[in-house]
Amino acid sequence: MIDWWQAILFGIVEGVTEFLPISSTGHLTIMEGLLGYNVADPSVTAFTAIIQVGAMIASIIYFWSDIVRFATGWFRGLTKAEHRDDPDYKMGWAIIIGFLVTGLVAFALKDLVEGPLRNLWAVVIGLIGWSLVMFAADRIAKAVRTEDTVTWKDGALIGLVQVISLVPGVSRSGATISTGMFRGLDRVAATRMSFFIGIPTLVVSGGFQAISAADAIGTAGGVGWLATGIGTVVSGIVAYFSIAWLLKFVSRNDFTGFIIYRVLLGLVLAGLLISGVIPAV
């Protein structure tokens, strides 16, 4: 079982890293390995997914006015054709389609994600490999489009690439923000799209994990629901402030610092694995 102080630590790490393009799952998996937990254990895998719900609830609270606006615009467009050019109507469809694409593909790959990819070498590859994609997005992508230009095609592609973030180390936000920028969205618009498509995806996946892995978490030898609850609450509190910081940061800076951090972390982790300090699973 995870101790209460470890649950707080996991919650802090999740809250800080969930929305930064440095992979929250990668960081949690590394921590689990360093603390001696089996990262492929179903209970540990479920814990990692469920505490993300806290961060997602924080994002719902933070973006509540936007969510209401998009929902209102979408319903208005469904009932009256003259409102279908409204950017809020189009954003509503982009979010729905992105969520559905992610859900369908992720469900098809569920066994792969929860099996072979629950490995710290996968984290190394994800951290370093996707850093190259982020570097290209930062340097090559013509990120000039604003949020008002988002279409269902943007949502579909971002949702599809979001599936890649199921590989620990890739980073959901890193994958979706990079994709948005390759679609021409500016950094702020791409970052906000990452939030909007990520909210339903991670809330549903966390809820599914809570139901399907209830026995694994609650039984003897499992992580424990107290630790899971503590981690979820802490991640939500920390994530709220992380969101505000990130949106301010991307309005003024590129992702160079995050890219350097990802590569260095990947190299350090590779060194720890090669030297046998921590096991890969």
195-243 pLDDT per residue, tens: 999 999 888 877 777 777 767 787 767 788 888 899 999 999 999 999 9
280, part of any domain: no
Rg (CA), the chain: 18
184, part of any domain: yes
Domain residue limits at 14: 4-274
195, part of any domain: yes
245-271: average pLDDT:
94
Predicted confidence at residue 277, as pLDDT, reads: 83
198, part of any domain: yes
**Does residue 41 or residue 99 have the better pLDDT?**
99
> What is d(CA 47, CA 216) in angstroms, rounded to the nearest whole number?
10
> What is d(CA 149, CA 145) in angstroms, rounded to the nearest whole number?
6
**Does residue 48 or residue 63 have the better pLDDT?**
63
Is the distance from CB of 235 to CB of 54 less than 8 angstroms?
yes
Closest C-alpha to 54, from 4, 96, 17, 5: 17
86-131 pLDDT per residue, tens: 999 999 999 999 999 998 888 777 666 656 666 888 889 999 999 9
Closest C-alpha to 154, from 196, 116, 122: 196
Other Cβ atoms closer than 10 A to 218 = 14
Predicted confidence at residue 122, as pLDDT, reads: 87
Distance of CA 11 to the CA centre of its chain: 14
6-30 pLDDT per residue, tens: 999 999 999 999 999 998 888 888 8
281, part of any domain: no
Closest C-alpha to 268, from 24, 33, 49: 33
279, part of any domain: no
User: Which 8-state DSSP code applies to residue 169?
Assistant: T
76, part of any domain: yes
Residue 87, C-beta contacts closer than 8 angstroms, at least 6 positions apart: 73, 147, 148, 149, 150
Phi–psi pair at 145, nearest 5 degrees: -75, 145
The b/e string for 224-241 (b: 16+ C-beta within 10 A; e otherwise) is beebbebbbbbbbebbbe
> What is d(CA 94, CA 155) in angstroms, rounded to the nearest whole number?
4
176-186: average pLDDT:
95
How many structural domains compose the chain? 1
Is the distance from CB of 149 to CB of 193 less than 8 angstroms?
no
Residue 181 host element (H or E): helix 172-182
Tokens of 75: 């319903």
34, part of any domain: yes
Band (53; pLDDT cuts 50, 70, 90): confident
Helical spans, DSSP H, in 109-119: 110-114
**Does residue 38 or residue 192 have the better pLDDT?**
192
Predicted confidence at residue 77, as pLDDT, reads: 95
The Cα angle at residue 179 between residues 177 and 201, in degrees rounded to 5:
65
Instruction: State percent of the chain over pLDDT 70.
Output: 95
Is the distance from CB of 264 to CB of 22 less than 8 angstroms?
no
Predicted model pTM: 0.88
